[in-house]
Structure 1
Amino acid sequence: MSSILIIEQVLNGLQFGVMLFLMAAGLTLIFGVMGLINLAHGSLYMVGAFAAAWVAGATGSFLLALVAALAAAAAAGALVEIVVIRRLYKAAHLDQVLATFALILIFSEGTRWVFGSFPLFLDIPDYLSGPVTLPGGIQYPFYRLVLIGIGFAVALGLWWLTAKTRIGIQIRAGENDREMIAALGVDISKLYTLVFALGAALAGLAGALVGAIQSVQVGMGEPVLILAFVVIVIGGIGSIRGAFIGALLVGLTDTLGGVFLPELFKLFMETTTATQTGSALASMAVYILMSIVLIWRPSGLFGARA
Structure 2
Amino acid sequence: MRRFVERNPFWSIVILVAVAVLVWSIFAVWPDWLVDAIGRKKIFLNALFNGITLGALYFLVASGFTLIFGLMRNVNLAHGSLYLFGGYIGYEIADWSGSWLLAFPVTFLVVAVLGVALQLAVFRRMQGQDLRQTLVTIGISIVLADLMLWIWGGDFFQILTPEWLSGPVETFLVTGVKRSSGDPIFLKYPMVRLVILAAAIVIGVGMWLLLNRTRIGMLVRAGVDDREMLTATGVNIQLVFVAVFAFGAGLAGMAGVVGGTFQSIAPGEDTRFLLASLVVVIVGGMGSIPGAALGALLIGLAEQFGSVYMPTYAVVLTFLIMVLVLAFRPQGILGRA
- Establish whether TM, by shorter chain, passes 0.5: yes
- Confirm or deny that 1:27 pairs with 2:65: yes
Q: 1:125 aligns with which of 159, 162, 177?
A: 162
Work out whether residues 128 and 142 of structure 1, in 8 Å CA contact, stay in contact via their aligned partners in 2: yes
Structure 1 equivalent of residue 7 of structure 2? none
Look up the SS of the partner of 1:223 in the other structure.
helix
Measured after TM superposition, the shift of residue 246 of structure 1 is 0.8
Measured after TM superposition, the shift of residue 187 of structure 1 is 0.8
Look up the SS of the partner of 1:302 in the other structure.
coil
Structure 1: 5+ residue runs without aligned partners? 262-278
1:68-147 aligned within 5 A = 68-91=106-129, 93-135=130-172, 136=174, 137-147=186-196
- Confirm or deny that 1:200 pairs with 2:246: no
Structure 1 equivalent of residue 315 of structure 2? 283
Measured after TM superposition, the shift of residue 121 of structure 1 is 2.9
Within 2, Cα distance between the matches of 1:116 and 1:288? 35
Measured after TM superposition, the shift of residue 218 of structure 1 is 3.0
Measured after TM superposition, the shift of residue 85 of structure 1 is 2.0
1:181-220 aligned within 5 A = 181-220=230-269
Structure 2: 5+ residue runs without aligned partners? 1-38, 175-185
Work out whether residues 71 and 286 of structure 2, in 8 Å CA contact, stay in contact via their aligned partners in 1: no
Within 2, Cα distance between the matches of 1:57 and 1:115? 14
Measured after TM superposition, the shift of residue 102 of structure 1 is 0.9
Look up the SS of the partner of 1:212 in the other structure.
helix
Structure 2 equivalent of residue 60 of structure 1? 98
Within 2, Cα distance between the matches of 1:147 and 1:45? 16
Within 1, Cα distance between the matches of 2:71 and 2:45? 38
Measured after TM superposition, the shift of residue 152 of structure 1 is 0.7
Look up the SS of the partner of 2:208 in the other structure.
helix
Structure 2 equivalent of residue 233 of structure 1? 282
Q: 1:42 aligns with which of 80, 85, 94?
A: 80
Look up the SS of the partner of 2:262 in the other structure.
coil
The structure 1 segments of at least 4 consecutive aligned residues displaced by more than 4 Å after TM superposition are none
Letter in 1 for 2:252: A
Q: Aligned residues: percent identity?
A: 38
Measured after TM superposition, the shift of residue 183 of structure 1 is 1.4
| Aligned Cα root-mean-square deviation (Å) | 1.3
How high is the TM-score relative to the length of structure 2? Answer: 0.82
Measured after TM superposition, the shift of residue 138 of structure 1 is 0.4
Measured after TM superposition, the shift of residue 41 of structure 1 is 0.3
Within 1, Cα distance between the matches of 2:309 and 2:152? 38
Structure 2 equivalent of residue 158 of structure 1? 207
Measured after TM superposition, the shift of residue 75 of structure 1 is 1.0
- Confirm or deny that 1:249 pairs with 2:298: yes
Q: Which has the larger radius of gyration?
A: 2
Look up the SS of the partner of 2:266 in the other structure.
coil
Work out whether residues 32 and 237 of structure 1, in 8 Å CA contact, stay in contact via their aligned partners in 2: yes
Structure 2 equivalent of residue 296 of structure 1? 328
Letter in 2 for 1:234: V
Look up the SS of the partner of 1:134 in the other structure.
strand
Within 1, Cα distance between the matches of 2:290 and 2:224? 15
Measured after TM superposition, the shift of residue 284 of structure 1 is 0.7
Structure 2 equivalent of residue 274 of structure 1? none
Letter in 1 for 2:266: Q
Look up the SS of the partner of 1:35 in the other structure.
coil
Residue range with higher mean Cα deviation, 68-77 or 31-40: 31-40
Within 2, Cα distance between the matches of 1:240 and 1:70? 19
Work out whether residues 32 and 175 of structure 1, in 8 Å CA contact, stay in contact via their aligned partners in 2: no
Within 2, Cα distance between the matches of 1:214 and 1:71? 22
Within 2, Cα distance between the matches of 1:241 and 1:121? 30
Work out whether residues 33 and 174 of structure 1, in 8 Å CA contact, stay in contact via their aligned partners in 2: no
- Confirm or deny that 1:4 pairs with 2:34: no
Look up the SS of the partner of 2:76 in the other structure.
coil
Within 2, Cα distance between the matches of 1:114 and 1:227? 25
Within 2, Cα distance between the matches of 1:90 and 1:4? 50
Letter in 2 for 1:115: W
Q: 1:175 aligns with which of 224, 248, 255?
A: 224
How high is the TM-score relative to the length of structure 1? Answer: 0.90
Q: How many residues align?
A: 287
Look up the SS of the partner of 2:169 in the other structure.
strand
